[in-house]
Structure formats: structure tokens, C-alpha cells
Structure 1
Amino acid sequence: MTDTATPAAAPDYPQLLGHPRPLWMLFMTEFWERFAFYSVSWALVLYIVAQFYQGDAAGQGWASGVFGAYTALIYAASIFGGYVADRVIGYQRSILLGAAVMAAGLFTLLVPSKPLLMLGLALVVVGDGLFKPNISSMVGQLYGTDDPRRDRGFTLFYMGINAGALVAPLLTGWMAAHFTDTPMQQNYRVVFGAAGVGMLLSLLWFWFGRRTLKNVGRPLPGMESRVRVAWVLVGVAVAVPLVYMLLAWVGAAGLQWLLGLLFIGVATMLIVEALRHDRVQLDRVIAMLIIFVFSVLFWTFYFQFGTSLNFLAENWVDRTMFGGWVFPVGWFQSVTPLAILVFAPLVTLVWAALARRKAEPSIPRKFGFGLIFNGLGFAVLVYALKELLGPAGLIPFWPLVLCYVMQTLGELSLSPIGLSMVTKLAPPRLVGVAMGGWFLSLAGGGDFSGLVASWISGDTGMTVASALSGFTFSFAVLIGSGVLLLLIAPLINKLMHGIK
């Protein structure tokens, strides 16, 4: 059977800095898409509370639910986007169409209206579903199946993601503070406009750079007809109102059931396809599905960056710096990507050095370390809320920064490895669907993150007591699940049949 997603022999590309040259084009395409995504992510809940609740903390619960549902749907849509690329129009066309739809949604957010807020988010969800899983899948196609550079290529690509995430809060936070003198809830719309421009740049970058990919990502035989693109556009027109209803009427609480059904559906497709191969492929799919469950737990608490950690930064952290200057809330969101840009090359070198000594941790062990580091980040906040509250009822600046750094180490142990894992363990004909399954684990985490954040904020907004309770719970779940994964790692390694 032909492997349509991760060919055994990749095209012969010119090399740049030790990797195929098209990797760097995909790097910049993803940079601008992530710039757009993280511009919205840091501002969304703050905008909702400011615009629709006039700054009343009672709006934190609803804002957290919207963020959780939006984040969940962003990643759940990847399942359908992966299928469209695999079976209907190919990867390149999916990315171009998704980028255009996302840009339309981001510009729609400029209008200060709840219905149009939901419409804009729905367009972003549908567009990102076509974009996100397919650009990640193409990274795997640049390398042969046994190319030892594959994991390092994904880590470099992941740096592109985080470069965009670093620049977004710094630039758009500054723009919101300096471009107008209007109330802050109006300035957030400057952020959304900048995000739309960033998405247009991503679209143009890929449009002009896609020729360097050669045949990778192009429609397979039988998919070349542009009529297929027209049908996908019809699908987009149908999907946007459906996503709108899920955001506006179902919300995070109802989505957990839908996401559960989607996970069962994806697992069934992967298992059925694996059974067409052999027992080894089935075992590998089972290993991948087990790791997906632990991935949900990781992202449930990681995604607190957009909700409870944002509200903590705004209300319970002493952000007054030298000369009375106040550190912007949004700039905390740049700590993680900055730490990733600092530590990712070091982590890559460590993995490579351990691999040369045949001592590199296996995929499930790396995931276990990721969960534990994430939990240690919350341990820092628990300590600060118990021991470091000042006379004004605020914790110092550094514990939240250290929390983000600890979570960064966890993310580096888990997220780029997860992308690479899917391209190694998935059945060849359904790599796009399997990548959608990986993003579905992020969707589940995003949805639960909104529910956890809503619980922490309650009906009246976050307090020191509710934050302490919520972060203690987060620490316990993450440490417990990380230790459990380390204990069962030998079993999962056996199911992977030699995949490292």
C-alpha cells in the first residue's frame, strides 16, 4: 500500500541549515497563523469581560466558557480538516482555503456585538480546522520514514509556532495601549484587526512558497478537479452556522459529550484501518490512543493561560515595575513562547546527545515528564498564594513567570513529540485523520480548561481562596497522571513495536 502522508522516500529537496528548504517556508506560514491565533487568545476573555460586562468580574465565568468552547472547537475541527485534505482536495488547497476563511473571521471580530463575536469565532474555527492539522502533516512528509532528523524537524517547526506566539502579545498589546485613546474594550479590537492582517500574511506566504514543496501536499490522482474545492466551500458554508450554534447555545458544558463521541469516531476509524494491516499496526494505534488520553489532561491545565491565569495576572499579581510602570497583562502570554525559543534548541541537543548514547527517553516517558513539569508550575502558584501574599493582597510578579517557564519545559517534553508520534504510529492512509485525533486531544483539554476556569471564578469572579483551591487541584491531577504514565511506559513501549 502506498503511504500518502509519510513517504518512505521523501523528495530530494535543497537543504538549508541541515533540513529540507521547504521546512522554513512552512515555518513562516505557521508563524503568521500563530501570530493571529495568539493575538486573539490573550485578549479574548479580557475583551468579553470589558465589553459585555463593563469590567465586572462576574463575567469571568461566561468568558472562560466561551474561551474553552472556542479552543475546543478550534482543535476538534482539525479532524474534519484532516479528512478533507486526505480524501478530497489535498493538503495545499486545504491550507489556502482555511487561511482565507480564518482571515474573514478575524476581521469580523472587529464589530462589538455578541452575535458577530460568535460568528467571527465560528469562521476562525472552521478555517483553522482546514489549516492546522494539514500544515503539521506536511512537515512529516518532508522527511523519509527512517530519517533521524524528523523529530528535530518538528521541534524546529514548533519554534516557528512559538515565535508567532511570542510576537503576538508583545506587538498587539502595545498596539492596543498606544494606537487609540479610547476605552480598553475598544482597543482590543485593534488586536483583532492585527490578527486578521497576520492571517493574510500567512496566506500570501504559503501561496508564493508552495511551489518549493514539489508534489508534497498536492491533490492525489482523482482529486485534481476544482469542483471538489467548490464542494468544500459549500461544506464551509454549512459548517459555520453549526459551529456558531455550538459556541452560542451549547457551550463548553455541552461540548464535552460531543467531543467524546468524536473521539470514539476517530478511534474507530483508526482501529478499523489498522485491522486492514496487521497486529503491529493495531498495537501502535492503541498506544497512540492511550497517549491521547494523557494529552487531554495536560492541555486541560495548560490552557488556563487564556482564562484563570489571565484573571490571576489582572487582579492578583503585583505588576508594578520600576518607575511605576505596570507590566501589561497580555505580556505574560509571551513568557511561554520566549522560554520555548530559549529552551527548544537545548532540549533538541539533549535528546540528540541521549540518542547517540542510546539513552533517549521513549515517547510515553517524555509525555510523563511533560505532565509533571506542568504540575510543578501550579505548585509554584500554590506556594505563592499561601506564603507570599503582600499587604495589598497581591502575589509577587515572579511566581507567575516561573509557572509559565515550568509549563514550557512540560510542553517541550510533550507537544512537538506528539506531532512526530502521530506521523510514526498512524496507519499510512489516515495520517491526516490521526493528526486530527491529536488535535482532538487538545480540543478535549481546551473544553475542560474552560469548565475548570469557570469553576475557579465561580459566579462572582476569581478570589485568592478559589484560585488556591483550583491550582491545588491542578497540581494534584497533573503530578498523579504524570507518575502513572511513567509507571505504564514499558507497556506502551511494547505496543509501539520499536517506534522511538
Structure 2
Amino acid sequence: MGPPLTRPSSADGIPSFPQVLGHPRPLWMLFMTEFWERFAFYGMRWALTLYIVAQFFAGDASGQAYASRTYGAFLALVYATAIFGGYVADRIIGYQRSILLGAVVSALGYFTIMVPSQGMFLLGLATIIVGNGLFKPNISAQVGQLYAQSDARRDSGFTIFYMGINAGAFVAPIITGILAEKFASPAMPAYKAVFLAAGIGMLVSTVWFWFGRRQLGGIGRPPAGAEGIGRVLAVVVGVLVAIPVVYFLMSIDASIVLWILAALFVGLCVMVLVEGVREGKVSRDRSLAMLIIFVFNVLFWMFFEQAGSSFNFLAQNIVNRDLGGWEFQVGWFQSVNPIAILVLAPLFAWLWMRLGRANPSIPRKFGIGLILNGLAFLLLMFALSSLVDPASHTIPFWTLFMVYVIQTAGELCLSPIGLSMVTKLAPLRVVGLAMGGWFLSTAIGNNLSGIFAGHVSGESGMTVASAQAGYTFGFWALLGAGVLLFLIAPLINRLMHGVK
């Protein structure tokens, strides 16, 4: 392969990489690797629930509840396995090999879900979950390893990388939606075309990183003394064991998965709190503040992650997608969130800076995020009660479009500060463990999102009445949680002992 494309290391151990547009050259390689991986993930994600109903329930709306619960469990396990993927990279085979192995495993999963069998479909999802666990946390870690802790460009580098995530998420539903519509045939049904495109996208990501990783030099290589192939083979065996375990979890009732995740979460929180008590009063209080916010994070994602489940069925059956003779495809709604992030994120960054000393505290930002999420459901309540066309029994296109925009505004008040909050509040010896708690709280929220979406659809499929009842509950739950968080924010701030 030749020598790695880096210059001698600087004093802090970070290689002096060639620079492109003011950033280390490998950043752009990681940007495109992540772009294609997100293309694969979001390219197939919008189709999952629709495919389950069409393929395994012959299009009968009674399959919507099962599809939503399966979707929620899938997202939950995607987040949960990321905890183990980070450990594998840190302690066993290094980041580069973890990313490559995760990419190959994920690609196999995408091609497996093309097989029109429910068992193979669940096996494919389980394979994607395990591959994603090895890939997703570790490529983000690689970005951080390109910069010294004191490098002022660090946040900017992560911002560029974050744009790669959202660029992939934006174009994927559009392109795979067009492929599903234009190139479907009896030999290649619409959803099969979607999954094939996603698999090809994952292969592109794999090949891109395979050839680009030499730019990283020693960054992300295996730990000292672990350079041999033996450990890789051991991880491969672990993957082969993990896939059936995840398959089993995907096959059982979503409520059982919820109990398993909840037990892990409670145990992890106890361990963090015990360590906080050991470190003293300040650490104990900060740990408690962080764990309180984790609970509200669960609630936010429970309602936010309706995009691939109940909102999909809403868009398919109850939203008027006819825009002057041109039909807006169901999957394209899921491109609204990433493009809204790209547009709104700089505005929010400017706003927090502009507010200066009046910048809301961490718990109040979370409260604003919950309330904004609730306002999105309020708009749906209004549309389903007052804007239903009596002839077509549909609501206007703009209502669901704006729901995604409003939810994105809520996400920007909450999600970007979550990881930063953990690094500030967690006891020093268990920051990684606490980060696992953040991911687990998000996983539990995602699992609950599928269960909630199943209730919105009911036993016979979504109707205007069932959607209105479910989304009304969502509004009041989010509003209540947001107001409660605002009220207890002074208490949480005291527990944070000056952390902003």
C-alpha cells in the first residue's frame, strides 16, 4: 500500500496532516465515508414500515402496528449496540478495523433484507444493527482524533462532518424514492430497488474507507501488541454470535425489548451515581442532574421518532400529497429534517451566541426542545380536527411538512448539547459509561416511539380519529414534560454546580 500520507507527528502525538480547505485531509475522506453510510441507512429507513405492511401483510392496514413496533425496536437496538462497538475499537481491534468490519457487515445486511421472507428480513435488520454498532460510533471518534484537544478548528471539523451526515440523510430518501418509482418492475419490485440502492451505497462507503484509510496514518490503528489478525477473527466470531441474539430481540415483542433496555439503563445509572458519590458531593449532584435530564431525553425521542413509523402511514393515507398534479412521495418527507437542520443549525448557533448571558441553561434548552416537539403535535391536532377535506378525508400537505420543521427546531435545542452535557457532568472515571447512558436513553425513546406509533394505528390501521387521539396525547405529554422541566430547572442548575 505504500507509506501513509502523513507528515511527522506534532508534539501532542497528532500527525501533521496535509491540509485541505483549512482542515486535515482525512476529514474529507471521513465526510464522504459517512455520507454514503447515511445514504444507505436513511435510503432504506423510510421504506421499512411501508415494506413490512406491503410484503408481510399483503397491504392490509392491520399490519401497521406490528411494522411500527418492529421499526422502533430496530432503531433502539441500533443505538444500544453502539455502546459495544466503541469498546471493541478501544480495547480490541482499533478504530480503522472496526469501521471496515462494521461496513462489510452492514452491507451484507442491506442485501439480505431484499429477500422477500420475514425471517430473512429480520435477519438482515439484525445484521445491519450489529454492523452499525461497529461503524457509527467509531467513525465519529476518528474525526475527533484528527485534532489536538486545544485545536480551535475541532468544533468546526465536527460541524463539517455533521453536514456530511445530513447531506446523506437529505438526498437518500429522494434518490431511493425516485428509483422505487421509475425503475420498479416485476423482477425488481419498488422496495427491493430501495434496499438494493441502500446496499450499493454501503458498498461505496466501504470501498471509500478501504482506499482512503491510508491517509489516517497511525490514527485509529489497533492497540499496541494487537496488530495481528487473531483479534479480528475473534471479533468476527463475536459478530456471528451477536447477530442471532439481535435477531431474537427483533423477533420478540417490543415491550420485552423495552424491559431489557430499561434494566440495562437502570443498572448503568446506578453505577454512574455510585461513582459520583465516591468522588464527592459536587460529582454526586452533577451525576444526579445528568440522570434527571436523561429521563426527559427518553420522552423527547419517544415522540420525535415518528418519522419512519406513524408519520409514514399518515403521509401515505391521510395527507394530500398532490401538489398541482405532481405527487410528493411519502419517503421525501424524511428529507425535510436534514435540510431543515442544515438551514436552522447556523441560526441557532448564532442565537445562542447573541443571547450571551441570557442564553438558556441546559435544562431550559431541553425544556424548549420538548415544548417545540409538542407544538408540532399541536399542529397535527389542529389539522386533524379542523382541516380535514370532507371529500378526500385528507389534511393539507403543508401541515406535515411544517411538523418536521418544528420538530427539527426542537431537536436543535436538545440533541447537539446532549453529548457535551455528558462530558461536563459525568464523574471523571466513568465518562464513557455515562455516554452509554445517553445512548441507552435515546434507544429506550426510540423503542417507545414504535410502541406509541402502534397505538396510533390501532388494530385496524390508522384513521383520522386514531391519529388525532394519539397525537393529542403526544402534545399534552410533551407540553407537560417541557413545563415541568422549566419549573425544576433552578433545582437542576443548583445540582450542576456552575456547569453551563
What is the CA–CA distance in structure 2 between the aligned matches of 1:454 and 1:424, rounded to whole Å? 37
1:400: how far off? 0.2
Moved more, 292-301 or 153-162: 153-162
Alignment size in residue pairs? 489
Q: What are the superposed Cα offsets for residues 87-125 of structure 1, whole Å, 9 maximum, x if unpaired?
A: 322333222211111111001011100000010000011
> Match for residue 3 of structure 1?
none
1:471: how far off? 0.6
AA paired with 2:73?
Answer: A
1:12: how far off? 5.3
> Match for residue 90 of structure 2?
86
Moved more, 310-319 or 269-278: 269-278
Structure 1 residues 145 and 364: alpha-carbon distance in aligned structure 2, compared to 1, 3 A threshold: farther
Counterparts of residues 347-386 of structure 1 (less than 5 Å): 347-354=348-355, 357-386=356-385
What is the CA–CA distance in structure 1 between the aligned matches of 2:200 and 2:23, rounded to whole Å? 29
Q: Which has the larger radius of gyration?
A: 2
What is the CA–CA distance in structure 2 between the aligned matches of 1:207 and 1:400, rounded to whole Å? 40
What is the CA–CA distance in structure 2 between the aligned matches of 1:218 and 1:363, rounded to whole Å? 36
> Match for residue 169 of structure 1?
173
Equivalent position SS for 2:246? helix
Which residue of 205, 212, 224 maps to 1:209? 212
TM-score of the pair, normalised by structure 2: 0.90
AA paired with 1:264?
Answer: V
Q: What are the superposed Cα offsets for residues 175-206 of structure 1, whole Å, 9 maximum, x if unpaired?
A: 0101123399x210111111111112222233
Counterparts of residues 139-158 of structure 1 (less than 5 Å): 139-145=143-149, 153-158=157-162
Q: What are the superposed Cα offsets for residues 70-90 of structure 1, whole Å, 9 maximum, x if unpaired?
A: 111111111211222233223
1:370: how far off? 1.6
Equivalent position SS for 1:304? coil
Q: What are the superposed Cα offsets for residues 306-345 of structure 1, whole Å, 9 maximum, x if unpaired?
A: 11111000000111112x2221111111111111111122
Structure 1 residues 491 and 148: alpha-carbon distance in aligned structure 2, compared to 1, 3 A threshold: farther
1:407: how far off? 0.6
Q: What are the superposed Cα offsets for residues 451-472 of structure 1, whole Å, 9 maximum, x if unpaired?
A: 1011111110011111001111
| Residues 133 and 435 in structure 1, CA contact (< 8 A), matched pair in contact too | no
AA paired with 2:343?
Answer: V
| Residues 284 and 497 in structure 1, CA contact (< 8 A), matched pair in contact too | yes
Moved more, 46-55 or 157-166: 157-166
1:369: how far off? 1.8
- Provide structure 1 residue ranges, at least 5 long, that are not aligned to the other structure: 1-6
1:373: how far off? 1.4
1:132: how far off? 1.8
Q: What are the superposed Cα offsets for residues 447-493 of structure 1, whole Å, 9 maximum, x if unpaired?
A: 10111011111110011111001111111111221222233334434
Equivalent position SS for 1:465? helix
1:222: how far off? 4.7
What is the CA–CA distance in structure 2 between the aligned matches of 1:63 and 1:260, rounded to whole Å? 22
AA paired with 1:337?
Answer: P
> Match for residue 195 of structure 1?
198
| Residues 9 and 145 in structure 1, CA contact (< 8 A), matched pair in contact too | no
| Residues 151 and 417 in structure 1, CA contact (< 8 A), matched pair in contact too | no
Equivalent position SS for 1:337? helix
1:269: how far off? 4.4
- Provide structure 2 residue ranges, at least 5 long, that are not aligned to the other structure: 1-10
| Residues 373 and 410 in structure 1, CA contact (< 8 A), matched pair in contact too | yes
Equivalent position SS for 1:193? helix
CA RMSD of aligned residues (A): 2.6
What is the CA–CA distance in structure 1 between the aligned matches of 2:482 and 2:149, rounded to whole Å? 29
What is the CA–CA distance in structure 1 between the aligned matches of 2:353 and 2:213, rounded to whole Å? 30
What is the CA–CA distance in structure 2 between the aligned matches of 1:149 and 1:279, rounded to whole Å? 35
